[in-house]
Amino acid sequence: MASRRRHAITPLAMLHIKDLTFRYGGRVLFEQATVAVPRGHRVALVGRNGTGKSTLLRLIAGELAHDGGSIRLPAGLKVGLLAQEAPGGEASLLETVLAADHERTALLAEAETATDPHRIADIHTRLADIGSHTGPARAGQILSGLGFDAATQARPCSAFSGGWRMRVALAGILFAAPDLLLLDEPTNHLDLEATLWLENYLRNYPHTVILVSHDRGLLNSLPTTTIHLDQGRLTAYAGGYDQFERTRRANLERLATLQTRQLAQRRRMEAFVERFRYKATKARQAQSRLKALERMEPIVSVIEEQTPVFDFPSPNPLPPPLMTLEEVSVGYAEGRPVLRRLNLRLDGDDRIALLGANGNGKSTLVKLLAGRLAPMSGSLRKPGKLKVGYFAQHQLEELAPELTTLAQGRRAMPTLTDEKIRAQLARFGLNQERMDTRTADLSGGEKARLLLALATREAPHVLLLDEPSNHLDVDSREALIQALNAYEGAVILISHDPHLISLTADRLWLVREGACQPFEGDLDDYRRLLLEIARDEARGESGSGRSAGGGDAAGRRRDQRRAAAEQRAVLAPLRKTIRDLESRMARLNAQRQALENQMADPDFYRQPASEVTRTQITLADLGKQIDAAEEAWFAAHETLEATTRDGDGDGAAEESGG
């Protein structure tokens, strides 16, 4: 059995995999797989669920031994694989992260006991080389970026849930800064804020990174190289995921064209042989073609596995608003609300993503809207016929593991026939085989599909989704995006996937410090806000004990941010009006284009004159509606610009007066 070896290889190559073969449970995961990873590259490892991406990382890290071929790494290379087990114990978070750098920990321990002067000098030289004295500050910055403030960093690991402790494991491997960093789904336990921080951190990571992730935004923004694992082989592509898809699609199309040409050539040669093989004058040419046919290697068709689709049922329309919250407070313990004075409105065409770090109350707000929590004060009004679909990750644990998928459907939909239950499950890619499978034997993605099927069984008017994509692969996430965009109800979404948010949400609500307010801007604006806040906090920490002027400057920045937030809240209804008008103009223009295409067809005028006239009247009416919408859009924009100018002027005067 072959084993992993470290060799002196070319300085430009960090990792070289050659003819790798590995079998697991009687199944061949890798067969003659070969690829090279250059030093300093950021690599995305992609492929369908179950193809062996996580296994390959473990093979590279030396946790598994392969059956054939070789995995070569430079001698002395430090390899770090993100652990799948959450750290525990009574050590503080900061101590746990510091201990993750085993070399630093060992050197510090040896420095306490070493007596040989030469060895002591070597120890302190090495500690200086690896920046040991800055260790606590670096570890604290990483923990802060992943959502732990200074006070929290001093608490023991045992005081946190598994998801938060997995963040500590991630912080530990980032602090250790290995030469080859292997990350397997690092964003699974992160919120959006920590995901954005991690993306920025990895973009500036000075060593080689191999990343397995289903986050398409991460797969596009980070990699310099994408390695595709398919049918046991590894193929490298330049750039991120979108570029990989384009290149691979072009290759598949070229392969299909070559196969078509080869089949045509084979048919011509076979016809020639069949016609002339027994004629003396043509026998030699026929035999030559017969040998050529034998040597011709067939171009094998590439069978692309189809990604199951999502299909959300359309609700019966209800007049707006669907929900209205006035001065609502909500929480879990009497007298201790998590969110206060909520004044929100939800309409049937709203697509809203909730922003805010974990622990600020996003899930609490969703539970309130789902009816799982009652308001402590204030009023929440909604129509009596309103139907709400609710999806949350914790519901995975509520599924009965011994029941089949179909039995789960029967339990949730007792009044429906098996035929209708099967039809609802099939909307989410659960085929006959999956319907007869025990829930315990479903993959995480299949369980998520089942929960979505159950949550939408009554064609809800409002869909509340709390991290719906955690267990879905890249292609399934794209299918979810398409389904959400085709869905005709309102959506409120919590997700750490920026790609999912940017392609499905029209509005952003920021849940922070016990409140929920509309956030005017997009995810790029939010990313800039987070970076600005982080810089201010870093200045505040580094500037403690300095002159009062520094504190005044920080206070002015906070006041300016607060004033900007207040102005965004004032402008939110106006901006929504503009977005609604833009959506209306897009729909009307699409309808007009469709009618114009019909009328451009000569066959259109062969129908009765009354139908032609009716279409012409409809087209003229659409033109009037578009003109009216454009006028309203221009008026709203002028009002917005005037209000913004007034706000800027007031802010400038106020600042100069201060």
Q: Return the pLDDT at 547.
A: 39
Give residue-wise pLDDT tens across range 363-394.
999 999 999 999 999 999 999 999 999 999 78
The answer to which of 58-62, 592-596, 626-630 has the lowest mean pLDDT is 592-596
Q: Return the pLDDT at 33.
A: 94
Give the span between the Cα atoms of 369 and 360, in whole angstroms. Answer: 16
Residue 612's pLDDT band (cuts 50, 70, 90):
confident
Supply 396's token pair.
């995975």
Residue 4 CB neighbour total at 10 angstroms: 16
Residue 1's pLDDT band (cuts 50, 70, 90):
very low
Please compute the mean of the pLDDT values over residues 421-430 and round it to a whole number.
Answer: 91
The answer to which of 81-90, 245-254, 360-369, 608-617 has the lowest mean pLDDT is 245-254
Maximum separation of any 2 CA atoms in the chain, in Å:
107
Position 234 pLDDT exceeds 90: yes
Give residue-wise pLDDT tens across range 145-156.
999 988 999 999
Q: Return the pLDDT at 651.
A: 37
Average model confidence (pLDDT) across the chain: 83
Position 228 pLDDT exceeds 90: yes
Tell me the pTM.
Answer: 0.68
Give residue-wise pLDDT tens across range 14-61.
899 999 999 987 788 999 999 999 999 999 999 887 788 999 999 999
Q: Return the pLDDT at 543.
A: 46
Residue 208 CB neighbour total at 10 angstroms: 21
- Judged on CB neighbours under 10 Å (0-12, 13-18, 19+), 366 is buried
Give the span between the Cα atoms of 564 and 569, in whole angstroms. Answer: 9
Q: Return the pLDDT at 475.
A: 83
Residue 655's pLDDT band (cuts 50, 70, 90):
very low
Q: Return the pLDDT at 551.
A: 47
Residue 276's pLDDT band (cuts 50, 70, 90):
low
Give residue-wise pLDDT tens across range 92-134.
999 999 999 999 999 999 999 998 989 999 999 999 988 889 9
Q: Return the pLDDT at 550.
A: 44
Q: Return the pLDDT at 73.
A: 92
Nearest alpha-carbon partner for 404 in 438, 428, 433: 438
Give the span between the Cα atoms of 343 and 337, in whole angstroms. Answer: 15
Position 455 pLDDT exceeds 90: yes
| Comparison of pLDDT for 655 and 458, the residue scoring more | 458
Cα 507 → chain centroid: 18
Give the span between the Cα atoms of 529 and 535, in whole angstroms. Answer: 10
Please compute the mean of the pLDDT values over residues 215-222 and round it to a whole number.
Answer: 89
Consecutive H or E run containing 225:
strand 225-230
| Comparison of pLDDT for 279 and 199, the residue scoring more | 199
Give residue-wise pLDDT tens across range 316-355.
989 989 999 999 999 998 889 999 999 999 999 899 999 9
3-state SS, residue 39: coil
Three-point CA angle 368, 370, 375, nearest 5°: 25
Give residue-wise pLDDT tens across range 536-592.
666 655 444 433 344 455 555 555 555 555 565 566 677 777 877 887 787 788 788
Position 231 pLDDT exceeds 50: yes
> Are β-strands 79-81 and 13-24 bridged in parallel, bridged antiparallel, or unpaired?
unpaired
Residue 633's pLDDT band (cuts 50, 70, 90):
confident
| Comparison of pLDDT for 442 and 543, the residue scoring more | 442
Q: What percent of the chain lies above the pLDDT cut of 70?
A: 83
Please compute the mean of the pLDDT values over residues 604-608 and round it to a whole number.
Answer: 84
Q: Return the pLDDT at 286.
A: 63
